[in-house]
Structures are given as C-alpha cells and as structure tokens.
Structure 1
Amino acid sequence: MKYDEFVDAVAIRAGMSPAEAEVLTHATLQTLADRLTAGEARDLASQLPRGLQEFLQPRYEKAEPFGLEEFVRRVGNRAGVDMSMAWHGMRAVLATLRGGVSVGEFQDVIGQLPKEYLQALQPTR
C-alpha cells in the first residue's frame, strides 16, 4: 500500500477529507509508537509506506502504559481536533493498519494493547 492509498483509505473509513485523514494518521501513529515497545513500533513501521514510517519512531524503549481514553486524548491533542474526530480518525487508522500490514504483525501490535482497545477495532465504514 502506498502513502496516498493509506491516507485515502483512512479518509473514506472516517468520512473526512484526505487532509484531515493525513493529520489524524500521523497523530495516531505517533501515539501508537508511545504505546508500543520500541521494537514493536519499529517492526510495524517496517511494513508501512515511506512517509508514514517516520511517525512510528519510538521515543522510549518501553511502552507507556496508558488506556484507550488517554490514547484518544493524545491523538486529539496532536492533531488539534476534538475527541469525537480523534476517535473516528484513530479507529479508521487502526482499521487501515489491519489491512495494510501482515496478520502476524497486526496481532503483535494488538497483543501489546489492553483489551479495552478492542472496541476501537470494531468495524468502521
């Protein structure tokens, strides 16, 4: 999947413009990099198109232990959007990730997240 295809898929899933989807994609990936171990963030980045990989660069070796509500808050703050838009964008990014990386890699990512994150993986548009 190419960069533009990824962003367009997020835009369609979230019902937003490609420009909004791009900002939310970057914010979601940066937040995900904080929530994953450094090794897992790098593994995930290796399966993403150029242009998205840089947003999964970990700041710390260990994952920061924060819940889903804090995840959405961080996405919203990074993207400069309200919680509702952050929620829809984040869900669309995760759904696009699920289809854009290997099954094993996505399972590795999900394996590092608390069960409450599963509600963000329920089908979107």
Structure 2
Amino acid sequence: MSAPLDCVVVRGLRLWAHVGVLEHERQMGQWFELDFSLGCNLSAAAAEDGLEQSLDYSQAIQALQLEAPRVRCLTLEHWSDKIFEVLEDLYGSVPIWLELRKCQAPVPGFCGIVAVQRSRRWPS
C-alpha cells in the first residue's frame, strides 16, 4: 500500500486570457479561474519548518499570472496543457491535478461555469 500523497494546493487563482471558440472571446479576453494541486512529500518541510523542503506556490502563481495574458487559443484543454508546462518547468515531474474554469461561458440562457479537470502523474 502506498503512502498518502501530500499536496500543495492553490484554489481560486483568477487569470485573464484570450481563450474561446468565438472570435470575440480571443480578441477581448475574459476571466478564468484555476485550482491546482501539486503532489509532493511535505514531511521534511513540516518537521524542519523550511520552505526549501516544499514547493513554493508563489512561484507558480506569479508564472501563471505572467503567462495567462499571452495565451491565445480555442479550448480550455489546450490552455491546460500550457499550464502543465509552466508547472513542470518550475517543479519537474511532480503529480499535478488542475481544474480550469471559464467564468462566463457564452451560451444563451446559461449563467453557470464550465471547466476541464485534468491530471498528470496523479495517483488514481
């Protein structure tokens, strides 16, 4: 039996990007919201109270905030791949889970939220 997976979790990161199937979505841009979890062993960080034994979430937040305004694509699926790349550049091949939400989908009569949930190396 494997040990439980510790995680660094970020919820509710608001990002402005130019993503959508409709031309005006890519031209004007819109708000999205991202939750992600980074799997890691946090035992040493907990015991030693040291950031160097953990994953510094501020680096991910800053990198994603910098990258998001440059994004221009049709789908959440494609953008989520770019998010994986940013996180993997920072932390290597750690398990990653994410949910990327479009805050205002342009569907008549619909005022909810649409999202994709994806993972890489996340235990099942």
The answer, yes or no, to whether TM exceeds 0.5 is no
More helix by share: 1
Between 1 and 2, higher relative CO (CA 8 Å, sep ≥ 6) is seen in 1
Q: TM-score, normalised by structure 1?
A: 0.30
More strand by share: 2
Q: TM-score, normalised by structure 2?
A: 0.31
Q: Higher Cα Rg: structure 1 or 2?
A: 2
